[in-house]
Amino acid sequence: MIRQVVERIYTLVMDRPLKKGTVVAARYMIKRVLGMGSYGISYVAWDLVNNVDVVLKQARKTKIKMAKGKKAFEYEAKLLQILSHPNIPSLHEVIQNKQGHFLVMDYIQGDTFEDLIFREGKSFSEREMLNIVWSILDITVYFHSQGIVHRDLRIPNILCVDGQIFIIDFGLARFLHDMPEEIDDGFIEKKLMREISVQSDIYALGHFMLFLLYSGYEPTSLLEKSWEEELNLSGDLTRIIRKMLQLDPPYETVESLREDMIHYLDGNEIGRKEDGII
């Protein structure tokens, strides 16, 4: 018990976020903490050379001392160096010095869909959902073509900036040729989302679609029902989502999902090209 308390105090001290105004590598001045995860702390920082905001992602000092933590940091840096897409933040620099281990990336200033739904109370129509998912699929096709799966395509990691979609946080991403990982927490949803396969990203996007569709849903009964009962979706769209969620034989590629979406859009007024959906 005493040892656990000491370890907890040590972790809190070692992993304390950098203070506002701290300058990293004589160039990046910390403005504020952006987020904190199990392996890292992200900051918005001011680039004193280029006079722009950047994201500084710091590996937790207690994690980087472990082989697993150091490997995770180096892995993410290697993966981000491969990606070059206007809707994915670029990696500018990898810093390893006495202050810590940092990744310097583009700062995309916008709202995540988690913010839009839960903080702003925004709801999305089926038309809007399809337009958004189509944009996400375009980006997903790109990183899949680079042999990379994101494995965390959730509402906190997808941003909307003036109508443009961005995908962030590749901290859980893997190369498709990597060995499978053991997921032993018993939740089938987590296992399906963390698989090192293109189906894991498609599965996550199926849940993303449901989040957007439920954003405007108002229950008419106190009884809990399945999404298929609660949402007023056509049979074709229901079949697409069921395949994405692997309730039916799943899609093998994002391209095959896009083909089904095109057929669905072409067969409905919502899919007219002049409406800007495809």
Active site amino acids: 152
| CB within 8 Å of 169: residues ≥ 6 apart | 152, 156, 157
Contact by Cβ (8 Å): 240, 257: yes
CB atoms within 10 A of CB 70: 15
C-alpha span between 82 and 108 (Å, rounded): 19
- Token digits for 211? 């989040």
C-alpha span between 261 and 242 (Å, rounded): 13
C-alpha span between 274 and 278 (Å, rounded): 8
Q: Rg for the chain (alpha carbons), in Å?
A: 21
C-alpha span between 132 and 110 (Å, rounded): 15
Q: Give the position of tokens 């093998």.
A: 252
Tell me the H-state helices in 83-234: 113-114, 126-145, 188-194, 198-214, 227-230
